[in-house]
Structure 1
Amino acid sequence: MPVLATPAWRLECAAVLFDMDGTLVDSSRCVDRTWRAWCARHGLDAEALFRVSHGRRNHETVALVAPHLDVAREVADLVRAEEACLDGIVPVPGAPELLAALPRDRWAVVTSAWRRLAGLRLRAAGLPEPGVLVTADDVAAGKPDPEGYLKAAADLGVEPERCVVLEDAPAGLAAARAAGMRAVAVRTTMGDGRLAARWSVDDLEALRYEED
């Protein structure tokens, strides 16, 4: 049985499902710049926004923090800004090596980004696009709803309970658990108690994939 492991623990699994931003791709400079500029334009508290935005789709974040605005128009502006910002996008430490070790039919990406942005960021970070990529365009409900992770497992032909999810945000960890999957917290974005999880790593360098 394949195993995802660190020196401290081992998880048997049939597939590994990754969040993208903060888990595989470090896009923090672009995300921070885009949202701070948007908050400044509307007189909103950026720190309050960041407490709820990680792992959520843009329209959900806008509706949550500024329901008085025209959500569709604001999201269109954010789409243009995020797609134009690729400076400083790099892989999370250990991501290239871990993906290279995984067979193509044993991993997927489930992201709150839309499909075009996901492709742009994966390429900017020098990472391969997965055979199964579930984006905001593919689901009716975003994280913490489990729909995206359940769709990825189904597309890979793997039962949910045989999947391990790697996530850097509370909404994503909640989505994985709601899908009946084991969740590993990646402490690249938040290192505090908000990522309480049975299994956790600082980044992906601590992880290895083995075929037992």
Structure 2
Amino acid sequence: MSHPAEPTVLTVRAVLFDMDGTLVDSTAVVEQVWTEFAERYGLDIEEILRTSHGVQAGDTVRRFAPADADLEALTAELGEMERARTDGVIALPGAEALLGALPDDAIALVTSADRILADIRMRAAGLSMPTTAVTAEAVTRGKPHPEGYLKAAALLGAEPADVVVFEDAPAGIAAARAAGMRTVVVGDAGGDLEAGMWRIPDYSAVTVTAVKDDDGGHLISLGI
């Protein structure tokens, strides 16, 4: 008789989350907006979707827009389109319970969205925004650069080795790995797993135990 595998337990001091595709399913809106962008300029939507996930919108616009396009205005227009559309934006299973079980001063959101869009999407999905959030305007280099994750860890007072990141997209996974952080891949779009990486379908089976240590910080055990 076979038995279920024992869950992996990760013990950390801080937990960092990407947003789109990790806490929030916004696929319908994202694909709709980028499809309209691709159709306007006769671009390959499949290539755009393949490379844009987890990346700041401005970086994708710079990569694909025609040479004579006003990149700043176009990025702003696409941002307004995304902010105005929330139909179908929902939380991943178990995300609300997991966020509620974790100490707020030991978690952060690290997203390629700007703060306005992040607030809109988290609210539309019924999720509370962590007090610490590193959004697009808070960094000079977006994912796959590790700046956002390193900044979030520093804000929480945690060393990279004591952090776990929940991510779904190759760009975000690369950022977390470059930051030297353990990484849990949410869903099946993140590619192959390497040492220091795990995969979950969603948060339904994730368990949390958090205790204070002698220094006043948190020791968090995550069963995944």
The more displaced of 191-200 and 82-91 is 191-200
- Report how far residue 67 of structure 1 moved: 5.3
CA distance in 1 between partners of 2:63 and 2:121 (Å)? 25
TM-score, normalised to structure 2, is 0.87
Q: What residue in structure 2 maps to residue 32 of structure 1?
A: 31
- Report how far residue 136 of structure 1 moved: 0.3
Q: What residue in structure 2 maps to residue 131 of structure 1?
A: 131
For the Cα contact (< 8 Å) 1:170–1:195, is it kept in 2?
Answer: no
Q: Deviations over 1:147-177 (max 9, x none)?
A: 0001101111111110000000011111111
CA distance in 1 between partners of 2:96 and 2:185 (Å)? 18
CA distance in 2 between partners of 1:67 and 1:102 (Å)? 45
CA distance in 2 between partners of 1:47 and 1:59 (Å)? 18
CA distance in 2 between partners of 1:193 and 1:140 (Å)? 24
- Report how far residue 66 of structure 1 moved: 2.6
Secondary structure at 2:37 match in 1: helix
Secondary structure at 2:59 match in 1: helix
Q: Deviations over 1:43-69 (max 9, x none)?
A: 111111011101100110111223523
Q: Describe how 1:148-167 pairs up with structure 2 within 5 A.
A: 148-167=148-167
Q: Describe how 1:62-141 pairs up with structure 2 within 5 A.
A: 62-66=61-65, 68=67, 69-141=69-141
- The answer to whether 1:143 aligns with 2:140 is no
Give the structure with the larger helix fraction: 1
Q: Deviations over 1:116-151 (max 9, x none)?
A: 000011111110011100000100000011100011
- Report how far residue 8 of structure 1 moved: 2.8
Q: CA 1:55–1:195 in structure 2 vs 1: closer, same or farther (change >3 Å)?
A: farther
For the Cα contact (< 8 Å) 2:168–2:189, is it kept in 1?
Answer: no
CA distance in 1 between partners of 2:45 and 2:193 (Å)? 24
TM-score, normalised to structure 1, is 0.92
Secondary structure at 1:185 match in 2: strand
**Once superposed, which parts of structure 1, at least 4 consecutive aligned residues long, lie more than 4 Å away?**
none
State the AA in 2 paired with 1:183: T
- The answer to whether 1:52 aligns with 2:51 is yes
Counting matched residue pairs gives: 204
CA distance in 1 between partners of 2:38 and 2:119 (Å)? 26
State the AA in 1 paired with 2:74: E
Unaligned residue ranges in structure 2 (runs of 5+): 211-220
Q: What residue in structure 1 maps to residue 18 of structure 2?
A: 19
- Report how far residue 203 of structure 1 moved: 1.1
Q: CA 1:118–1:7 in structure 2 vs 1: closer, same or farther (change >3 Å)?
A: farther
RMSD: 1.5
Q: What residue in structure 2 maps to residue 3 of structure 1?
A: none
The more displaced of 87-96 and 65-74 is 65-74
Identity across aligned pairs (percent)? 50
In our comparison, the structure showing a higher alpha carbon Rg is 2
- Report how far residue 70 of structure 1 moved: 2.4
CA distance in 1 between partners of 2:54 and 2:94 (Å)? 21
- The answer to whether 1:194 aligns with 2:183 is no
State the AA in 1 paired with 2:95: A
- Report how far residue 7 of structure 1 moved: 4.4
- The answer to whether 1:171 aligns with 2:168 is no
CA distance in 2 between partners of 1:177 and 1:34 (Å)? 29
